[in-house]
Amino acid sequence: MRESREGCAVIAHKDFIYIFGGVGTKTVESYDTKKNTWKAMPNMEHHRHGHSAIAIKDEVFILGGQNGKNTFVSSMAVFDLESDKWKEVDDESNLPIALSDLAAVRFHKWIVVIGGMKSDKSNDVNEEIFVYDTEHSNWQQVNKFQ
C-alpha cells in the first residue's frame, strides 16, 4: 500500500485488490497481484471510513460509513472497474438509514446489509436487514433481528 489505513474497505476482482478510503482519507488504491505493484485510483468524492464494499460484475458498491467529520452516512457510491471511474448514483440508491461498521455480502444480484451502528452511542445497533437489488436500484427491509 502506498499509505497506511484504518477503517478502509477492500475487495478482490480478477487479478486485483482494491482498497477504498479509511479514517481521514478518500483515496483508492489497487494492487496488481501479477505485477506486484500498487496504483493510485480516482479518489472517492468524500472521506469515508467504517463503510463496506461489495463487487458485483464490474462494479464496486461503497455503502454507508462515516465521513471526515465522523457523521454517519447513508450514501452509496459506485466505482466502475472497467473504466476506473466513479458513476453517478441516484439518492434513491442510498441506504434507507445511515450506518457505520455495517456488514454487507453479495448474494447473486443483491447486496445484503446486516447490523452496523446507527450512531456513535454504544447501544444504537442496527437490528434491521436490508437488501439492495442491483438490477432495479431499490432497497427493501426484509427482516429484523429477533
Question: Where would I find the H helices in 3-137?
Answer: none
In percent, the amount of the chain with pLDDT more than 90 equals: 86
Mean pLDDT of all residues belonging to the chain: 94
Instruction: Please determine, for residue 46, whether its predicted confidence score (pLDDT) is greater than 90.
Output: yes
Output the pLDDT for position 36: 97
Q: What is the average per-residue pLDDT within 90-103?
A: 94
Q: Which CATH architecture has domain 9-144?
A: 6 Propeller (2.120)
With H, G, I as helix, E, B as strand and everything else as coil, classify residue 93: helix
> How many C-beta neighbours within 10 Å does residue 17 have?
15
Which residues, in sequence order, are CB contacts of 98 under 8 Å at separation 6+? 64, 71, 72, 73, 74, 118
Query: Rounded CA gap, 64 and 84, in Å?
Result: 21
In terms of phi and psi (left: phi > 0; alpha: psi -120 to 50; beta: otherwise), the region of 21 is left
Instruction: Map grid coordinates 467504517 to a residue.
Output: 50
CB 130 within 8 A of CB 113: yes
